Amino acid sequence: MFKFFTQKKWHLWSIGGTVVILLATWYQVQLDVRINEWFGEFYDTLQKALTEPNSVSEKDFISYLFTFAKIAAVYILVVIFSDYFTSHWTFRWRTAMADFYHDKWEFASSIEGASQRVQEDTLKFARIMEGLGAELLRSLMTLIAFTPILWGLSKSITVLPWIGQVDHALVWVAIISALGGTVILASVGIKLPGIEYDIQKEEAAYRKELVLGEDFKESAKPEIITSLYSGVRQIHYKMYFHYLYFNAVKWSYLQGMVIVPYLALAPTIVTGAITLGFVQQIIRAFGRVETSLQYLVRSWPIIVELISVWKRLREFEAKLEKNTSLETIS
């Protein structure tokens, strides 16, 4: 699965491409930091304009909007380039895997489901890594960029409801709430990877019988495919049940977290110690840190599928290595 990083012929893409993606992602995060600063300045100006008539000229107000437009335009271009390049990068990764399997096809063709592993699972692996890997990278870089910002902004937030004095309060609230949610969701969804793996096995057996039935009349008899489909139905119903309570916990947590930063800011807001611009800036910084820390929570269903694909490919490669060893000995 990782020949893309170990074979010399792929180093230009695996290493060079990774550097390009890192730089593009970092620049994207820096633009997001600049937008966060803009929010603070703009909302302070907006508050001043609303509370003190004619204190802000129309020209100055519109200039803020054009400033945002320029930053946003660059941000859009960087995102478009990054997504385009990442798609090519992950397809090269898939190609490296496919080339490895193609070279050993004489040992792989006797393995049940080999064609599905080489075609379907490499495709799934590449697509999942494209989205999941890019999001992980963005989350890490966003966390690195915004945590110091939130730490600095939190100097003014020293009191929490029901708790009292806490230095840099919002940083600790973001960390504790996000990590707590991750632990809870991981515990609730711990059975999902195994169920996804079982689904693929049942679906593969069902599909194989149908394919055989296209060429051999003795295959795909009604009683056989009915029995196989019964297994498919049972495992899917099992998955639906487990996702029922997982999603209940997940969405309850995510919706509850919407009010957490405002709740933490309540003692400071009611005293009038901070401006509207500061509130917007700190809420946005809090959201970026919190969302980065919630990476596992938000990505768990996709991670479940990735684990399932990884288990199938690992099992396939183990059988492939065994077949190769046996052929060498004989």
Residue 326 confidence (pLDDT) = 62
DSSP characters for 87-139? HHHHHHHHHHHHHHHHHTHHHHTTSTTHHHIIIIIHHHHHHHHHHHHHHHHHH
Residue 20 confidence (pLDDT) = 93
pLDDT band with cut points at 50, 70 and 90 for residue 241: very high
pLDDT in tens, 192-208: 878 887 887 888 788 87
Residue 210 confidence (pLDDT) = 81
Residue 293 confidence (pLDDT) = 80
Token reading at 245: 């309570």
Token reading at 48: 């001043």
Residue 256 confidence (pLDDT) = 87
DSSP characters for 201-270? HHHHHHHHHHHHHHH-TTSS-HHHHHHHHHHHHHHHHHHHHHHHHHHHHHHHHHHHTTSHHHHHHHHHHH
Report d(CA 288, CA 283) in Å as an integer: 9
10 Å CB burial of residue 70 (0-12, 13-18, 19+) is: exposed
Residue 156 confidence (pLDDT) = 78
Domains and CATH numbers, the chain: 3-329 (1.20.1560.10)
- Please state, in angstroms and as integers, the Cα–Cα distance from residue 54 to each residue in 46, 64, 278, following that order: 12, 16, 22
- What mean pLDDT is predicted for residues 76-103? 88
Residue with tokens 């204190």: 55
pLDDT in tens, 140-196: 888 888 888 888 888 878 777 788 787 888 888 888 888 888 888 888 888 887 888
233 within 8 A of 239, measured Cβ to Cβ: no
Axis-axis angle for helices 58-103, 122-153 (nearest 10): 150
CA-nearest of 130, 137, 174, 144 to 30 is: 144
Report d(CA 265, CA 330) in Å as an integer: 73
Report d(CA 189, CA 325) in Å as an integer: 38
CA-based end-to-end distance of the chain: 27
Report d(CA 295, CA 181) in Å as an integer: 11
pLDDT band with cut points at 50, 70 and 90 for residue 84: very high
pLDDT band with cut points at 50, 70 and 90 for residue 66: very high
pLDDT band with cut points at 50, 70 and 90 for residue 72: very high
- Please state, in angstroms and as integers, the Cα–Cα distance from residue 210 to each residue in 207, 228, 237, following that order: 5, 10, 22
pLDDT band with cut points at 50, 70 and 90 for residue 74: very high
Mean predicted lDDT score pLDDT of the chain: 83
pLDDT in tens, 260-270: 888 888 888 88
pLDDT in tens, 117-150: 777 788 888 888 888 888 888 888 888 888 888 8
Q: Is the pLDDT of residue 328 over 70?
A: no
Residue 1 confidence (pLDDT) = 66
Q: Is the pLDDT of residue 2 over 90?
A: no
pLDDT in tens, 276-324: 888 888 888 888 888 888 787 778 778 878 887 888 788 888 887 877 7
Q: Is the pLDDT of residue 64 over 70?
A: yes
DSSP characters for 14-76? IIIHHHHHHHHHHHHHHHHHHHHHHHHHHHHHHHHHHHSTTSS-HHHHHHHHHHHHHHHHHHH
Residue 261 confidence (pLDDT) = 85
